[in-house]
Chain A
Amino acid sequence: MKKIASLVLALLLFAALPGGLAVSAEGSVLDDNTLTVAMECAYAPYNWTQPDSSNGAVPIKDSADYANGYDVMMAKKIAEALGMELEIVRLDWDSLVPAVQSGTVDCVIAGQSITSERLESVDFTAPYFYASIVGLTRVDSPYAQAQGLSELAGATATSQLGTIWYDGCLPQIPDATILTPQESAPAMLMALETGRANLVVTDIPTAKAALNAYSDFVLLDFNDSEDNFVVSSEDVNIGISVQKGNTELKDAINGVLNTMTEDDYNAMMDEAIAIQPLSDGLPEGFFAQIGYLLQNYGTSYLKGAGITVVIAVICTAIGCVIGLGCGIVQTIPVEKRDGMGKKILLGAARAVLRVYVEVFRGTPMILQAVLIFYGAAFLFGWNLDMWTAALVIVSVNTGAYMAESVRGGILSIPVGQTEGAKAIGLTHVQTMTSIILPQALRNIMPQIGNNLIINIKDTSVLFIIGVAELFSIHKGVVGATYAYFPSAVIEMAIYLGMTLVCSAILRWVEKRMDGESSYALVKQTGGLNAPPYVEHGKPRTGNLDL
């Protein structure tokens, strides 16, 4: 497979910058005695997520879940042979190359094919699997009995985005209608199941695993025939990638692979397929599948939801503080009598804030996440903790939006409030803290609520750097079970539940801030009871009685 995402390209461009060539010089990976291996944990049968340690699954770093599959078995074998501790890191597919390139992980064992494009960014070991190309169709399709490639003529076909299956194999089908590519293997299988396509092309492990989940699928394997897809060996050789120049680790892994044969690989893959979570098949019926997922992955969903809420709440709070700071600086009045120094300082600060707001508001958070997380490791050798990176990215993003909200909130307060405060001798800071900000905060509460709800949903992009939030749980569950629709429905319900609860809490807070709608008179006063003003015994008319 060769999956070339725009993200990787962006990172490669980044790497091409002069400063980018200074790849962080990590110490020898063999020294620290921990083998850090990255994979998607959502690409059965190579790797998947499961809720328990059954069948020798390995805990995923910074997560309550476990990883298993062909890649995990291979990783365990290698770590054992090298006498190292194994650590599995869950990363999105598009993040795998940058992660190994930047030295964030030691190697990637994730069903990556050894392509010339990838070889420009990373080094590969010898193949650890040979993934021949096959087709899948439904039992009721006209192609169910096909004996060769030519018999697939006229099929409506699709496959996964950025793979040799889509880019290289689909065009070889005569007169095929080629649909747009699907974002993942589970999505591709869903397209076949729902009838949008009547043929998908993939590799043998994926196809075998799919047969477990979908009883009405038929495998079309033409590998013993002349009438087959033509692919180069680089497209089917699956390898392990290490950082460029890390020959020490590469040679060590090759040493382990040399002790195994292709038959060993196939036997191990069959074993992986057999212990895949859905090897006994997904229950029939939509609600039965939802029940199955809740029973097996319920705690995973809840933990993901918890992480999502915690990140969203903390980052909205930090973002509000950042926004308040920016909003205050943006609205400090400059007066004629102010000194030159203050004017220049304020002007510079405002220019910096302007750039900050425009850049973070004007670019997708998913790209910011990739650039901050991998860029920091790549350019400066800073290996940011995943959680730190997540908090920084979402907070800084929220801050950019809140800066404008706060500025608007401050501008919305009538100038009379400021003048009233000045007139009793308050300083600018006292005016802001006692009068303007409390009112501005009340006015922007709806926007703060908006940001919290947006954050609950938008933290889903953090899967790209491996944060085990709610959406990444979905990717993991779907990667292991192919139960695309039921999992999506569960996620929708959880997201909606979280945002509804947040809305309700925020409305309650707003009501509390508004205070009582009535007030109590404290006592009768003996003071002036304001009798009508009388001019010369006559009621006041406003005109002079001259």
Chain B
Amino acid sequence: MNTTETGAIVEVRHLNKSFGPREILRDINFTVRKGDVTTIIGPSGSGKSTLLRCLNLLETPSGGEILFHGQNIGESANIPAYRTKVGMVFQSFNLFSNLTVLENCMLGQRKALKRSKAEAEQKALFYLEKVGMAEYVNAKPSQLSGGQQQRVAIARALAMEPELLLFDEPTSALDPEMVGEVLNVMQKLAAEGMTMIVVTHEMAFARDVSNHVVFMADGVICEEGEPAQLFEQPKSERTAEFLARFRQG
């Protein structure tokens, strides 16, 4: 299968990851095409976050391939350059606490993309505006609420203008009343055609916003498909069992 023909941005083939003797991921295969919004769901400890972290090499895979536009990034010498094209939003925001909101959104543009100060500032402001945080440019991360910090973190990732954006449980560390503001931003991005992979426990988001759902358990992909199919008629017993817990609430 030729990736350029299929429009795939990322193809994962036979990916394995172990920490010492412990196998976290086993033979993971999936493809993300331009404009896809893929959600990865599954019980805690199933390897969802590890898979996401392997995708931008925060974890080094133990085996298999990750193809970015057909090129195996495991063999790529320039990992920082690859990371500028694959943004990441963390569960715990990871904003730089020594920098202001504006500086957070400019640093990567200046250092990794070598954009001019004026251009970096203009882009940073544009994306901060998009997430509704433009008025907070002078604030330090510690002065913001969790929801505000996560929106800035999304703006920081967007300012790099990546081809693909990875979300690692972006709302799990938030108070319930702040979850909405972050999901709202993500929904808008999806609507604008941003290619996204989202690890989440927000089942409604997975069902309503994504166009592809991957269910993982015990380090393998149990089932994947369109949200309507996976949520309404799960093929796997594990999937049905997992989803049942959300229906009882």
Distance from A465 Cβ to chain B, minimum over Cβ atoms (Å): 41
In the complex, chain A residues whose CB is within 8 Å of the CB of B133: 525
Whether B108 is near chain A, meaning CB under 8 Å from some CB there, is yes
What is the CB-to-nearest-CB distance from A342 to chain B, in angstroms, rounded to a whole number?
Answer: 14
A520 to B90, CA, bound (A): 27
B90–A420 touching, CB < 8 Å: yes
A534 to B179, CA, bound (A): 11
Given contact pairs A420-B94, A425-B84, A530-B132, A546 touches B231 in the complex (Cβ within 8 A): yes
Q: Contacts of B157 on A, CB cut-off 8 Å?
A: 423-424
CA A525 – CA B134 in complex, angstroms? 6
| A525 partner residues in chain B, CB cutoff 8 A | 129, 132-135
Instruction: Take A439-B97, A527-B129, A542-B202 as given contacts and tell me if A425 and B135 are in contact as well, using a CB distance cutoff of 8 Å.
Output: no
Q: State the interface size on chain B (CB cutoff 8 A).
A: 66
Q: Which of A124-132, A257-265, A302-310, A427-435 contacts B (4 or more CB under 8 A)?
A: A427-435
Query: Is the pair A544, B243 in contact by a Cβ cutoff of 8 Å?
Result: yes
Residue of B nearest to A531 (CB): B184
The proximity string for A residues 386-421 relative to B, scoring 1 for CB distances below 8 Å and 0 otherwise, is: 000000000000000000000000000000110111
CA distance A425 to B113 in the complex (A): 9
Q: Which of B140, B180, B207 has the most CB of A within 10 A?
A: B180
| Chain A: minimal CB distance from B112 (Å) | 4
CB distance from B37 to the nearest CB of A (A): 16
Q: How far is the CA of A416 from the CA of B81 in the complex (A)?
A: 20
A533:B94 contact, CB within 8 angstroms: no
Chain A hits for B56, CB < 8 A: 423
Docked CA distance A529–B188 (Å): 12
Asked whether any CB of chain B lies closer than 8 Å to the CB of A543, the reply is yes
**Which residues of chain A come closer than 8 Å to B96, judged between CB atoms?**
417, 420-421, 434-435
A521 surroundings in chain B (CB, below 8 A):
135-136
Q: Judge whether B185 is part of the interface by a CB distance below 8 angstroms.
A: yes
Cβ proximity bits B64-99 to A, threshold 8 Å, 1 near / 0 not: 000000000000000011111001101011111111
Q: Is there contact, CB below 8 Å, between A533 and B179?
A: yes
Are B185 and A416 in contact, CB atoms less than 8 angstroms apart?
no
B180 in complex: contacting residue of A522, A524, A540, CB < 8 Å? A540
- Of residues 450 to 492 in A, which have CB atoms within 8 Å of B's CB atoms? none
**Cβ of A515 < 8 Å from any Cβ of B?**
yes
- How close is A43's CB to chain B, nearest CB, in angstroms? 55
Residues of B with C-beta under 8 A to A434: 96, 107, 111
Instruction: Give the shortest distance, in Å, between A419 (CB) and chain B (any CB).
Output: 6
The residues of A that contact B95 with a CB separation of less than 8 Å are: 420
Name the residue of chain B whose CB is nearest to the CB of A427: B80
A438 CA / B96 CA spacing, docked (Å): 11
Q: Are B181 and A519 in contact (CB-based, < 8 A)?
A: no
A535 interface residue, CB < 8 Å from B?
A: yes
The listed residue (A337, A427, A523, A533) touching B187 by CB distance below 8 A is A533
Report whether B83 and A424 are in contact in the complex, using a CB–CB cutoff of 8 Å.
yes
Bound together, the chains give a CA A543 to CA B187 distance in angstroms of 18
- Find out whether the CB atom of A528 lies under 8 angstroms from the CB atom of B108: no
Q: Which of B82, B147, B153 contacts A530 (CB under 8 A)? A: B147
Known contacts A421-B96, A426-B112: A543-B184 contact under CB 8 Å: no
Segment 173-208 of B: residues with Cβ below 8 Å from A: 176-177, 179-181, 183-185, 187-188, 202-204, 207-208
Q: Can you name the residue of chain A whose Cβ is closest to the Cβ of B180?
A: A533
User: Is B30's beta carbon under 8 Å from chain A?
Assistant: no
Question: Which B residues lie within 8 Å of A337 (CB)?
Answer: 60
Q: Does A442 contact B (CB under 8 A)?
A: yes
Query: Which interface residue of A434, A515, A534, A541 has the most chain B CB atoms within 10 A?
Result: A434
Q: Bound state CA distance, A422 and B60, in angstroms? A: 13
Q: How far is the CB of A373 from chain B (nearest CB, A)?
A: 41
Chain A, Cβ-Cβ closest to B153: A420
- Assess the B87–A424 pair: CB atoms within 8 A: yes
0/1 string, B121-155, CB within 8 A of A gives 1: 00000001111111111111001000100010100
Known: A528-B130, A533-B179, A543-B247. A425 touches B143 (CB 8 A): no
- For B187, the chain A residues whose CB sits under 8 A away are 533
Closest residue of A by beta carbon distance from B134? A525
Max chain B Cβ within 10 angstroms of own Cβ: one of A416, A421, A424, A522: A424
* Interface pair A523/B134, CB less than 8 Å apart: yes
Interfacial chain A residues near B128, Cβ < 8 Å: 527
Closest chain-A Cβ to B213's Cβ sits at a distance in Å of 13
The reply to whether the CB of A335 lies closer than 8 angstroms to some CB of chain B is: yes
B160 at the A interface (CB under 8 A): yes
State whether the Cβ of A532 lies closer than 8 Å to any Cβ in chain B.
yes
Interface flag for A336 (CB, 8 Å)? yes
A424 and B80 CA atoms in complex are apart in Å by 8
- The interface bits of chain A over 333-347 (1 if a CB of B lies within 8 angstroms of the residue's CB, else 0) are 001110000000000
Distance in angstroms from B80 CB to nearest chain A CB is 4
Q: Enumerate chain A residues within 8 angstroms of B179, measured Cβ to Cβ.
A: 533, 540, 542
Known: A519-B143, A544-B207. A423 touches B247 (CB 8 A): no
Question: How many angstroms from the CA of A442 to the CA of B142 in the assembled complex?
Answer: 15
B138 CB contact (under 8 Å) in A424, A520, A531: A520
B112 engages A540 (CB within 8 Å): no
Nearest CB in chain A: distance from B227 CB, A: 11
A419, B94: Cβ atoms under 8 Å?
yes
Docked Cα-Cα span, A260 to B83, in Å, equals 88
Closest residue on chain B to residue A434 by CB atoms: B107
A533–B183 touching, CB < 8 Å: yes
Whether B132 lies near A419 (C-beta < 8 A) is no
Decide: A530 near B180, CB < 8 A? Known: A417-B97, A523-B135: yes
Q: A438-B98, A531-B184, A533-B187 are in contact. Are A424 and B160 (CB under 8 A)?
A: yes
Which one of B60, B112, B248 lies within 8 Å of A425 (CB-CB)? B112
Q: Tell me, rounded to whole Å, the shortest Cβ–Cβ distance linking B161 to chain A.
A: 11
A336 to chain B, nearest CB (A): 6
The residues of A that contact B134 with a CB separation of less than 8 Å are 522-523, 525, 527
**A532–B160 CB distance below 8 A:** no
Q: How far is the CB of A459 from chain B (nearest CB, A)?
A: 33
Q: Name B184's contact: one of A442, A520, A522, A533 (CB within 8 Å).
A: A533
Question: CB distance B98 to A530 under 8 Å?
Answer: no
Interface pair B107/A426, CB less than 8 Å apart: yes
A-B contact pairs, 20 of them (CB 8 A): A416-B90, A416-B92, A416-B94, A417-B96, A420-B153, A423-B56, A423-B94, A519-B140, A523-B135, A524-B135, A530-B185, A532-B180, A533-B179, A535-B204, A540-B180, A541-B249, A542-B176, A543-B249, A544-B246, A544-B247
**Which B residues form the contact surface with A (CB < 8 A)?**
56, 58, 60, 80-84, 87-88, 90, 92-100, 107-108, 111-113, 128-140, 143, 147, 151, 153, 156-157, 160, 176-177, 179-181, 183-185, 187-188, 202-204, 207-208, 231, 243, 246-249
Sample of 20 further A-B pairs with CB below 8 A, known A434-B96, A534-B180: A417-B97, A423-B83, A423-B87, A423-B94, A424-B87, A424-B107, A425-B111, A425-B113, A435-B98, A519-B100, A526-B129, A527-B131, A528-B185, A530-B132, A533-B180, A533-B181, A533-B187, A542-B203, A544-B243, A544-B246
* The 7 nearest A-B residue pairs measured at CB: A424-B108, A533-B180, A420-B94, A543-B249, A425-B112, A425-B84, A530-B181
